[in-house]
Amino acid sequence: MKILNLLFLTLLLLNFSSEKEMDLGSFSMKTPKDWTYIKQRGIDSFVGKIAIGKNDTLYFDYGLYSNNLEESFNNGYYYIINNDSIFTPDWELSKLDTINEPIYKFFARGGKTKLNEFIENTSYEETINGLKAKIVVPINAEKGTTGVYFENTSTNRKGMKFQISGYNLKEENQKAFLRAIKTLKFKH
């Protein structure tokens, strides 16, 4: 009788596990039970969203051109004169230009060293299931990108690129996401 009760209790605890295996065909990972896959339409890759918590969303891209999560100031749109003055495009004035050339406006002094003040994220490399991964986390909690990028999803170098990330994630969702990242597995 004790063995039967122990077996029943074990099965009951397994059913109430707070994790599930989210299998999306090309890849899988262990996630909290309440995370939900939201199908998206991609042109040249497998893309989608995963709703986590009430207000946070992860975005993934599995293909040849997946974003490597490199951070850039103003999406890479800036111009530096004499290693000192930073100019950024003025999109409103550029719309009025009949020559179709970007019009730049002064942003700040300090050149590339000034741009470092706008960096939100830091990154480090880690091995996940035998694959080299770049993990990106915000410098300040809840302000920036949390994600992972794989340049290749196969140990034989014949895989695709993959990235999954979220922006301004709540701290508890960020921690759960970083745990889930470590369980990523790719199918070929």
Query: Residue 177: enclosing H or E segment and its boundaries?
Result: helix 171-181
CB atoms within 10 A of CB 66: 21
Mean of the per-residue pLDDT values of the chain: 83
Provide the edge-to-edge strand list for the sheet that holds 121-128.
36-39, 45-52, 56-63, 161-167, 145-150, 131-138, 121-128
Q: What is the pLDDT, as a whole number, of residue 79?
A: 65
142 pLDDT higher than 80:
yes
100 pLDDT higher than 80:
no
- Residue 171, token pair as written in the block: 């701290």
DSSP state of 143: B
- Which tops the pLDDT comparison, 148 or 106? 148
Confidence of residue 12 (pLDDT cuts 50, 70, 90): very low
The residue type at 84: D
Q: Distances in Å between the alpha carbon of 103 and those of 65, 80, 155?
A: 30, 14, 46
Digit-coded pLDDT (tens) for 30-83: 999 999 999 999 888 899 999 998 899 999 999 998 988 887 766 666 667 777
The residue type at 21: E
Among 157, 158, 180, smallest CA distance to 169 is for 180
Confidence of residue 96 (pLDDT cuts 50, 70, 90): low
What is the rounded distance in angstroms from the CA atom of residue 41 to the CA atom of residue 60?
12
Give the SS3 label for residue 58. strand
What is the rounded distance in angstroms from the CA atom of residue 145 to the CA atom of residue 38?
20
How do 185-186 and 85-89 pair as beta strands?
A: unpaired
Mean per-residue pLDDT for 102-119? Answer: 76
The reported pTM is: 0.76
Cβ–Cβ under 8 Å, residues 155 and 50: no
What is the rounded distance in angstroms from the CA atom of residue 66 to the CA atom of residue 46?
10
Among 109, 128, 105, 126, smallest CA distance to 117 is for 109
Digit-coded pLDDT (tens) for 68-79: 888 776 666 666
